[in-house]
Chain A
Amino acid sequence: DSGVTQTPKHLITATGQRVTLRCSPRSGDLSVYWYQQSLDQGLQFLIQYYNGEERAKGNILERFSAQQFPDLHSELNLSSLELGDSALYFCASSVAINSNYGYTFGSGTRLTVV
Chain B
Amino acid sequence: DAKTTQPPSMDCAEGRAANLPCNHSTISGNEYVYWYRQIHSQGPQYIIHGLKNNETNEMASLIITEDRKSSTLILPHATLRDTAVYYCIVRVEHGSSNTGKLIFGQGTTLQVKP
Give the interface of A toward B (CB within 8 A). Answer: 2, 4, 31, 33, 35, 42-45, 48, 50, 55-56, 58, 88, 90, 92, 94, 96-108, 110
Complex alpha-carbon distance, A50 and B93, angstroms: 17
Known: A92-B44, A102-B49. 8 other contacts (CB 8 A): A4-B43, A42-B106, A42-B107, A43-B104, A55-B99, A92-B43, A98-B94, A106-B43
Q: Which residues of A contact B96 (CB under 8 A)?
A: 98
Query: How many contacts between A and B, using CB within 8 angstroms?
Result: 74
**Cβ-defined contact, B94 with A2, below 8 A:** no
**Cβ-defined contact, B44 with A98, below 8 A:** no
**Cβ-defined contact, B45 with A105, below 8 A:** yes
Q: Nearest CB to that of B49 among chain A residues? A: A102
Give the interface of B toward A (CB within 8 A). Answer: 32, 34, 36, 38, 41-46, 49, 87, 92-96, 98-107
Q: What are 10 of the A-B contact pairs (CB < 8 Å)?
A: A44-B104, A48-B100, A50-B99, A88-B41, A97-B99, A100-B94, A101-B49, A102-B34, A103-B100, A108-B41
> Which of these, A48, A88, A104, contacts B46 with CB under 8 Å?
A104
Q: Which residues of A contact B101 (CB under 8 A)?
A: 33, 45, 48, 56, 58
Complex alpha-carbon distance, A107 and B43, angstroms: 5
Q: A4-B43, A102-B36 are in contact. Are A96 and B103 (CB under 8 A)?
A: no
A104 to chain B, nearest CB (A): 7
